[in-house]
Protein backbone atom coordinates (compact mmCIF):
# COMPACT_ATOMS: atom_id res chain seq x y z
CA UNK A 1 0.00 0.00 0.00
CA UNK A 2 1.32 3.43 -1.00
CA UNK A 3 1.84 5.92 1.85
CA UNK A 4 -0.56 8.86 1.81
CA UNK A 5 0.96 11.93 0.13
CA UNK A 6 2.06 14.37 2.80
CA UNK A 7 3.91 17.69 2.91
CA UNK A 8 5.10 19.59 6.00
CA UNK A 9 6.31 23.16 6.51
CA UNK A 10 7.65 24.86 9.62
CA UNK A 11 7.25 28.61 9.36
CA UNK A 12 8.30 31.66 11.32
CA UNK A 13 5.77 33.51 13.46
CA UNK A 14 5.43 36.12 10.73
CA UNK A 15 2.35 37.09 8.69
CA UNK A 16 4.53 37.49 5.60
CA UNK A 17 5.34 33.77 5.73
CA UNK A 18 1.74 32.70 5.23
CA UNK A 19 1.13 33.46 1.53
CA UNK A 20 4.22 31.61 0.19
CA UNK A 21 3.41 28.61 2.38
CA UNK A 22 -0.22 28.59 1.26
CA UNK A 23 0.95 28.72 -2.35
CA UNK A 24 3.21 25.68 -1.92
CA UNK A 25 0.40 23.76 -0.23
CA UNK A 26 -1.95 24.74 -3.08
CA UNK A 27 0.52 23.30 -5.65
CA UNK A 28 0.85 20.11 -3.58
CA UNK A 29 -2.93 19.65 -3.44
CA UNK A 30 -3.26 20.41 -7.18
CA UNK A 31 -0.58 17.84 -8.00
CA UNK A 32 -2.57 15.23 -6.12
CA UNK A 33 -5.83 15.96 -7.90
CA UNK A 34 -7.68 17.72 -5.09
CA UNK A 35 -10.60 19.77 -6.45
CA UNK A 36 -10.59 23.56 -6.46
CA UNK A 37 -13.28 23.98 -3.77
CA UNK A 38 -11.38 21.80 -1.30
CA UNK A 39 -8.12 23.63 -2.06
CA UNK A 40 -9.79 27.00 -1.49
CA UNK A 41 -11.18 25.83 1.86
CA UNK A 42 -7.70 24.69 2.96
CA UNK A 43 -6.28 28.08 1.93
CA UNK A 44 -8.93 29.82 4.06
CA UNK A 45 -7.93 27.66 7.04
CA UNK A 46 -4.24 28.53 6.63
CA UNK A 47 -5.10 32.24 6.42
CA UNK A 48 -7.51 32.34 9.35
CA UNK A 49 -6.04 29.88 11.86
CA UNK A 50 -2.38 30.74 11.29
CA UNK A 51 -3.14 34.49 11.32
CA UNK A 52 -4.93 34.11 14.66
CA UNK A 53 -1.99 32.15 16.04
CA UNK A 54 0.55 34.73 14.90
CA UNK A 55 -1.45 37.77 16.04
CA UNK A 56 -3.15 36.61 19.21
CA UNK A 57 -1.14 33.53 20.25
CA UNK A 58 2.28 35.09 19.78
CA UNK A 59 1.29 38.77 19.75
CA UNK A 60 2.96 39.61 16.46
CA UNK A 61 0.88 42.21 14.62
CA UNK A 62 3.71 43.41 12.39
CA UNK A 63 5.47 42.05 9.36
CA UNK A 64 9.13 42.79 10.13
CA UNK A 65 10.34 40.98 13.23
CA UNK A 66 9.04 37.44 13.62
CA UNK A 67 8.12 36.63 17.21
CA UNK A 68 9.67 33.60 18.91
CA UNK A 69 7.71 30.42 18.42
CA UNK A 70 7.02 27.67 15.96
CA UNK A 71 4.15 26.88 13.62
CA UNK A 72 4.07 23.65 11.64
CA UNK A 73 1.60 22.91 8.85
CA UNK A 74 1.17 19.32 7.71
CA UNK A 75 -1.03 18.58 4.70
CA UNK A 76 -2.16 15.05 3.86
CA UNK A 77 -4.19 13.81 0.92
CA UNK A 78 -6.21 10.60 1.19
CA UNK A 79 -8.60 9.05 -1.29
CA UNK A 80 -11.51 10.66 0.53
CA UNK A 81 -10.23 13.98 1.81
CA UNK A 82 -7.58 16.69 2.12
CA UNK A 83 -6.45 17.29 5.69
CA UNK A 84 -4.44 20.05 7.32
CA UNK A 85 -2.86 19.94 10.77
CA UNK A 86 -1.64 23.26 12.20
CA UNK A 87 0.52 22.97 15.34
CA UNK A 88 2.05 25.75 17.41
CA UNK A 89 3.78 26.11 20.76
CA UNK A 90 1.90 29.23 21.81
CA UNK A 91 -0.48 29.55 24.76
CA UNK A 92 -3.53 27.24 24.76
CA UNK A 93 -6.30 28.41 22.46
CA UNK A 94 -9.18 26.29 21.19
CA UNK A 95 -10.69 27.97 18.11
CA UNK A 96 -13.45 25.35 17.85
CA UNK A 97 -15.02 26.92 20.94
CA UNK A 98 -15.27 30.41 19.40
CA UNK A 99 -18.93 31.43 19.06
CA UNK A 100 -20.45 31.98 15.64
CA UNK A 101 -21.13 35.63 14.87
CA UNK A 102 -24.74 36.76 15.02
CA UNK A 103 -26.20 37.20 11.54
CA UNK A 104 -27.35 40.77 10.95
CA UNK A 105 -29.68 42.29 8.38
CA UNK A 106 -28.25 45.79 8.74
CA UNK A 107 -24.66 46.68 7.87
CA UNK A 108 -24.56 49.17 10.74
CA UNK A 109 -25.06 46.31 13.22
CA UNK A 110 -22.63 43.87 11.57
CA UNK A 111 -19.40 43.43 13.53
CA UNK A 112 -16.26 44.48 11.65
CA UNK A 113 -14.29 41.39 12.72
CA UNK A 114 -14.75 37.91 14.14
CA UNK A 115 -15.56 36.12 10.89
CA UNK A 116 -12.38 34.07 10.41
CA UNK A 117 -13.22 31.05 12.55
CA UNK A 118 -16.81 31.12 11.30
CA UNK A 119 -15.46 30.76 7.74
CA UNK A 120 -13.26 27.83 8.79
CA UNK A 121 -16.23 26.12 10.44
CA UNK A 122 -18.56 26.60 7.47
CA UNK A 123 -16.14 25.83 4.61
CA UNK A 124 -14.67 22.59 6.05
CA UNK A 125 -16.14 19.18 6.85
CA UNK A 126 -14.26 18.65 10.10
CA UNK A 127 -12.64 21.00 12.63
CA UNK A 128 -10.95 19.63 15.78
CA UNK A 129 -8.63 20.93 18.48
CA UNK A 130 -6.29 19.16 20.90
CA UNK A 131 -3.67 20.37 23.37
CA UNK A 132 -0.78 17.89 23.22
CA UNK A 133 2.61 18.26 24.95
CA UNK A 134 2.24 22.05 25.36
CA UNK A 135 1.26 22.43 21.71
CA UNK A 136 -2.01 23.54 20.12
CA UNK A 137 -3.12 21.14 17.38
CA UNK A 138 -5.87 22.27 15.03
CA UNK A 139 -6.94 19.65 12.50
CA UNK A 140 -9.35 20.33 9.63
CA UNK A 141 -10.41 18.24 6.69
CA UNK A 142 -12.40 18.71 3.51
CA UNK A 143 -14.03 15.91 1.54
CA UNK A 144 -12.82 15.55 -2.04
CA UNK A 145 -15.40 15.67 -4.78
CA UNK A 146 -15.88 12.33 -6.55
CA UNK A 147 -15.19 12.28 -10.31
With CB under 8 A as the rule, give the number of residues binding other proteins: 31
Of 1-9, 12-20, 85-93, 125-133, the window that binds other proteins (rule: CB under 8 A) is: 12-20
**Nearest of 114, 55, 127, 31 to residue 85 by alpha carbon:** 127
Phi, then psi, of 55 in degrees rounded to 5: -75, -50
Distance of CA 6 to the CA centre of its chain: 16
**Nearest of 84, 81, 83 to residue 145 by alpha carbon:** 81
Question: Applying CB under 8 A, does 105 fall inside the site for other proteins?
Answer: yes
- Name which position in 79, 112, 132, 147 contacts other proteins (CB under 8 A): 112
Question: Applying CB under 8 A, does 6 fall inside the site for other proteins?
Answer: no
**Nearest of 127, 132, 106, 131 to residue 48 by alpha carbon:** 127
- Name which position in 5, 9, 15, 66 contacts other proteins (CB under 8 A): 15
Q: Helix, strand, or coil here: 36?
A: helix
- Name which position in 107, 132, 134, 147 contacts other proteins (CB under 8 A): 107
Of 36-44, 66-74, 76-84, 129-137, the window that binds other proteins (rule: CB under 8 A) is: 36-44
Cα separation of 48 and 119, whole Å?
A: 8
Contacting positions for other proteins (CB under 8 A): 15-16, 18-19, 22, 36-37, 40, 43-44, 47-48, 51, 63, 101, 103-108, 110-113, 115-116, 118-119, 122-123
Amino acid sequence: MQPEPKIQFSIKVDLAALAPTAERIRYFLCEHGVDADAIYAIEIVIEEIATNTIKYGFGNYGFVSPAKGNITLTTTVTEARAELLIEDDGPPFDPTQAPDPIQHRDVDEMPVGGLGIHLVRTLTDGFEYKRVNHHNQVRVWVHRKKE
